[in-house]
Amino acid sequence: MKRVYAREEVCMGCKLCEVYCATAHSEYPLDLVKAFLKQKMKPLPRILVEYNLSISFALQCRHCDEAPCTKACITGAMQKDSVTGIVSNDERRCVGCWTCILVCPFGAIGRDNQGHKVASKCDLCSNVADQTDTESFSNVPVCVQNCPNRALQFMDSVVEGEE
Amino acid sequence: MDYVIIGNSAAGIGAVEGIRSVDRVGKIALFSREPYPAYSRPLISYYLSGKVAPETMYYRDPDFYLRLQVEASLGREVQALKLEDKTIELSTGDKVPFDRLLIATGGKPITPPIPGREYSGVSTFLTWDDAKDLGEELFPGIKVVVIGAGLIGLKATEALVKREATVTVAELSNRILSAILDEDSARIVQTHLEEQGVKFQLNNTVAEILGEEGKVTGVRLQNGEELECDRVILAIGVRPNLDLVRDTELKFNQGILVNSHMATSVDDVFAAGDVSEGYDKIYQENRVLPILPNAYKQGFTAGVNMAGGSSEFQGGFAMNAIGFFDLPMLTAGIIKPTTPGFQEYIRLDPGKQSYKKIVLRAGKLVGYIALNTVDRAGILTGLMDQEVDVTPFQEHLLKEDFGYIHFPKELRSQRLSLRK
């Protein structure tokens, strides 16, 4: 399956991926300004930029083949789609026990404490595509689309040393 | 191939999914004492508090058994194993043959011989029916004594308080949650629970349950003090349910002994989940690891091997995600070493009710407590699981923003770039 890979050597640490991700998963997925101004709760990104003085890179769910979160989930809310490979959380069934956070070796699952407490994670924009009925989301996740220096790439796999 | 699975919780369901990942046609017969489709045991306290509705208690979708072609006999109890005949015997006397058998009978509550144990109003808290029965009897102001301040006892306590019960918890140990917290972190959680009205009796326990006309009226504690109450919940702990195993040739210790394929000492018989004793890679010995993620993984591994595939359970270790009244904690491995050879590092922020502790052994992370500082703690779990030498970056492990940025570059790119 296609996943998002970060190239830390060209990441500028601008965090635009976080901004666009938060917008895409807000109540106004197509409108950045409304998402941040009109939504009562601050929109939360499902991608995280890690940075220090010299390097930065973005990190989100790796949609692991053997995803520990799906095996550990106590409610059955966290599932890997057998066709698309996307790991997603059924927020109606999630009770916010944080077992997925306990087992995710990438630290890629966040806590959404706004309203009904749920685990929040990258869905490769698949839900956004469903909700907005716009195809552009399903083709390439918004973080990748809006990365100004192409530090985020959406591809099948990355082989060491290959561009 | 005829498969028989005894048990319908995480390990049993994992086995179904494991078998079906290899064998689409073999016949799977599954037996469960409880009448419900697989539901999530850890959710019973959420059910009791009203947070989870009955329809969201289920561990899998309603079509699960049909979709995976499982003949599920729910509410049919298995009475005996006739391993030499390769059959199991139901309580109705019916016999069911198997080519491969999985024992996933889980755990059962430890019920100590406390006088008065037989009074009505005394119960355990393990199954959905336990929660249903308890829920029906609650009224605002009901007085409940919970015996045991472990995970089950305190999750029951939280739900009871949310249902406006007055709860006293008696615990023999010097602290609450002694399996997952050390003294300092336990004190933070205890104070938090006390602020919600919970009373604790530590270094103490119930010596006798008092009753009148067959019904509980109170308890007498070990220190002589008497407390009035309407209900008593026994939550001392859980041990492997070996009822079916004792009269067989199966080898068991605390739980049924299994190898890395989840195979028992008898050919074609497998065991998984809370009834088994699998490999603990932190303690480096076989141990009962009664936690749901472990049960599912062991069940899946067993299923693959039962169906003729090859899968190894690489070993697990204790880990828990739990929280009370919005105070969450994640813990794993050895949290309070009692022998030499460990290094412990602690970061405490009392103002934030947060406490983080890491435990190292020979350069490797072997345990941690992350109380109210849970974000991204799974990275630590991953380092334990992969047995990474953390010496080059151990000074960062306690940081609130600890992440992949602190990994040596090589390790980071190895983890992040190639993930098939």
- Chain A's closest residue to B39, CA to CA, is A75
Query: pLDDT tens digits, residue range B242-299?
Result: 999 999 999 999 999 999 999 999 999 999 999 999 899 999 999 999 999 999 999 9
Together in a domain, B252 and B205: no
Together in a domain, B138 and B98: no
Together in a domain, B174 and B129: yes
Together in a domain, B225 and B244: no
Q: Closest CB to A51: pick one of B61, B332, B405.
A: B405
- Quick check: B157 and B198 in contact, CB under 8 A? yes
Together in a domain, B289 and B383: no
Average pLDDT of chain A to the nearest whole number: 90
Together in a domain, B143 and B69: no
> Per-residue confidence at B416, pLDDT binned at 50, 70, 90?
confident
**Stretch 131-190 of chain B: residues touching chain A, C-beta under 8 Å:** none
> Does residue B60 sit within a domain?
yes
> What is the reported pTM?
0.95
Query: Does residue B17 have a pLDDT over 80?
Result: yes
**Stretch 54-93 of chain B: residues touching chain A, C-beta under 8 Å:** 56, 58-61
Query: pLDDT tens digits, residue range B151-169?
Result: 999 999 999 999 999 999 9
A145 membership: H or E segment, kind and range: helix A142-145
pLDDT computed for residue A115 by the predictor: 76
The C-alpha atoms of residue B249 and residue A73 are separated, in whole angstroms, by 34
Structure tokens at B294: 């472990």
Domains assigned to chain A: 1-60+138-163 (3.30.70), 66-121 (3.30.70.20)
> Does residue B364 sit within a domain?
yes
B328 in contact with A, Cβ within 8 Å? yes
Query: Does residue B367 have a pLDDT over 60?
Result: yes
Min Cα separation A80/chain B (Å): 13
Query: pLDDT tens digits, residue range A63-96?
Result: 999 999 999 999 999 999 999 999 999 999 999 9
Helix (H), strand (E), coil (C) string for chain B: CEEEEECCCHHHHHHHHHHHCCCCCCEEEEEECCCCCCECHHHHHHHHHCCCCHHHCECCCCCHHHHCCEEEEECCCEEEEEHHHCEEEECCCCEEECCEEEECCCEEECCCCCCCCCCECEEECCCHHHHHHHHHHCCCCCEEEEECCCHHHHHHHHHHHHCCCEEEEEECCCCCCCCCCCHHHHHHHHHHHHCCCCEEEECCCEEEEEEECCEEEEEEECCCCEEECCEEEECCCEEECCCCCCCCCCCECCCEECCCCCECCCCCEEECHHHEEEEECCCCEEECCCCHHHHHHHHHHHHHHHCCCCCCCCCECCEEEEEECCEEEEEEECCCCCCCCEEEEEEEEHHHCEEEEEEEECCEEEEEEEECCCCCCHHHHHHHHCCCECHHHHHHCCCCCCCHHHCCHHHHHHHHCCCC
Min Cα separation A22/chain B (Å): 18
> Per-residue confidence at A158, pLDDT binned at 50, 70, 90?
low
A27 in contact with B, Cβ within 8 Å? no
Query: Does residue A143 have a pLDDT over 60?
Result: yes
* Residue written as token pair 């599912």: B296
> Per-residue confidence at A62, pLDDT binned at 50, 70, 90?
very high
pLDDT computed for residue B134 by the predictor: 98
pLDDT computed for residue A161 by the predictor: 43
Min Cα separation B413/chain A (Å): 9
A155 in contact with B, Cβ within 8 Å? no
Size of interface A-B (CB pairs under 8 A): 121
Min Cα separation B100/chain A (Å): 23
Q: Closest CB to A98: pick one of B46, B59, B374.
A: B374
Together in a domain, B154 and B223: yes
Contact check, Cβ <8 Å, B293/A103? yes
Query: Does residue A110 have a pLDDT over 50?
Result: yes
Query: Does residue B175 have a pLDDT over 80?
Result: yes
**Stretch 113-142 of chain A: residues touching chain B, C-beta under 8 Å:** none
> Per-residue confidence at A136, pLDDT binned at 50, 70, 90?
low
Helix-helix angle B151-162:B183-194, to 10 degrees: 20
Partners of residue A87 in chain B, C-beta under 8 Å: none
> Does residue B192 sit within a domain?
yes
B31 in contact with A, Cβ within 8 Å? no
pLDDT computed for residue A163 by the predictor: 35
Together in a domain, B211 and B230: yes
The tally of domains found in chain B comes to 3
Contact check, Cβ <8 Å, A159/B418? yes
ipTM, 2 decimals? 0.95
Structure tokens at A76: 């059955």
Last residue within a domain, chosen from B188, B221, B236: B236
> Does residue B114 sit within a domain?
no
> Does residue B314 sit within a domain?
no
Optimal mutation site among A44, A62, A75, interface B, most CBs of chain B within 10 A: A75
> Does residue B252 sit within a domain?
yes
Contact check, Cβ <8 Å, B297/A71? yes
Contact check, Cβ <8 Å, B375/A101? yes
pLDDT computed for residue B420 by the predictor: 40
Secondary structure (3-state) at A138: helix
pLDDT computed for residue B263 by the predictor: 98
**B57: domain CATH number?**
3.50.50.60
> Per-residue confidence at A162, pLDDT binned at 50, 70, 90?
very low
pLDDT computed for residue A137 by the predictor: 60
Together in a domain, B52 and B191: no
Let me know if B25 is exposed, middle or buried by CB neighbors in 10 A (0-12, 13-18, 19+): exposed
Q: Closest CB to B418: pick one of A57, A104, A160.
A: A160
Contact check, Cβ <8 Å, A57/B330? no
Together in a domain, B26 and B44: yes
Please report, for residues A59, A80, B201, B209, B392, the alpha-carbon distance to residue B226 in angstroms, rounded to integers and kept in the order given: 56, 53, 12, 10, 56
Together in a domain, B231 and B268: no
- Chain B's closest residue to A98, CA to CA, is B321
> Does residue B312 sit within a domain?
no
Query: pLDDT tens digits, residue range B27-68?
Result: 999 999 999 999 999 999 999 999 999 999 999 999 999 999
With CA atoms as reference, report the closest residue to A72 among B169, B316, B395, B398. B316
Query: Does residue A138 have a pLDDT over 80?
Result: no
Query: Does residue A160 have a pLDDT over 50?
Result: no
Percent of chain B with pLDDT over 90: 97
The pLDDT of A134-142, averaged and rounded, is 74
pLDDT computed for residue B64 by the predictor: 97
Last residue within a domain, chosen from B215, B236, B257: B236
* Residue written as token pair 């109450």: B229
Contact check, Cβ <8 Å, A107/B404? yes
Percent of chain A with pLDDT over 70: 91
A78 in contact with B, Cβ within 8 Å? no
Query: Does residue A128 have a pLDDT over 90?
Result: no
Together in a domain, B141 and B180: yes
Contact check, Cβ <8 Å, B417/A62? no
pLDDT computed for residue B419 by the predictor: 44
Domain residues for the domain of B266 are: 2-108+239-306
Residues pairing with B80 in the sheet:
B89
Last residue within a domain, chosen from B193, B218, B236: B236
The pLDDT of B191-198, averaged and rounded, is 98
> Does residue B115 sit within a domain?
no
- Chain B's closest residue to A106, CA to CA, is B379
Secondary structure (3-state) at A14: coil
Torsions phi, psi for B199 (to 5 deg) = -105, 145
Query: pLDDT tens digits, residue range B296-340?
Result: 999 999 999 999 999 999 999 999 999 999 999 999 999 999 999
Min Cα separation B226/chain A (Å): 36
Average pLDDT of chain B to the nearest whole number: 96
pLDDT computed for residue A133 by the predictor: 66
